[in-house]
Amino acid sequence: MHQMPMRRFIPALTLLLAACATTPQAPETPASAPTAIQPPRSEIVGLTAPELVARLGNPALQVREGAGLKLQFRSRYCVLDAYLYPAESGQGLTRVTYTDARQPSGADMDQAACISAIEATR
């Protein structure tokens, strides 16, 4: 006699547990994943050497590296390296394609703040 209520209890318990279970959800995928990490663009990227000198003054250092040119500007607070390369076609003026800013100690620094510091010392 004890088996009869137990036979009814087990299916009822199974249904109750199934109702409480959550359905697995697929992990969210981003709408569009970036294809490559781009370095942050500074406000001087794209300038020619004469435009850069007009804006920041004479560079403290100028180094030719093949077809490229590195101009280094310094202030009391930071050092800014600007790398200029010709267009892919090889024609035309060299333009700033990459910049790097750091404190005199070598620690990274915000490029916009460094540019402002160099402009202020002109």
| Structure tokens belonging to residue 90 | 């090889």
The total domain count for the chain is 1
Q: Report yes or no: 119 and 56 within 8 Å, Cβ to Cβ.
A: yes
Residue 89 in any domain: the answer is yes
pTM for the predicted model, two decimal places: 0.64
CB-based contacts of 53, cutoff 8 Å, min separation 6? 59, 71
Q: Which domain holds residue 111?
A: 49-120
pLDDT tens digits, one per residue of 41-85: 568 999 999 999 999 999 999 999 888 999 999 999 999 999 999
Element of type H or E holding 49:
helix 49-56
**Per-chain mean pLDDT for the chain:** 80
Residue 11 in any domain: the answer is no
Q: Report yes or no: 70 and 61 within 8 Å, Cβ to Cβ.
A: yes
Residue 105 in any domain: the answer is yes
Average pLDDT over residues 73-99: 91
How many angstroms separate the Cα of 24 from the Cα of each of 27, 31, 64, 98? 9, 21, 59, 46
Is the pLDDT at 34 greater than 60, yes or no? no
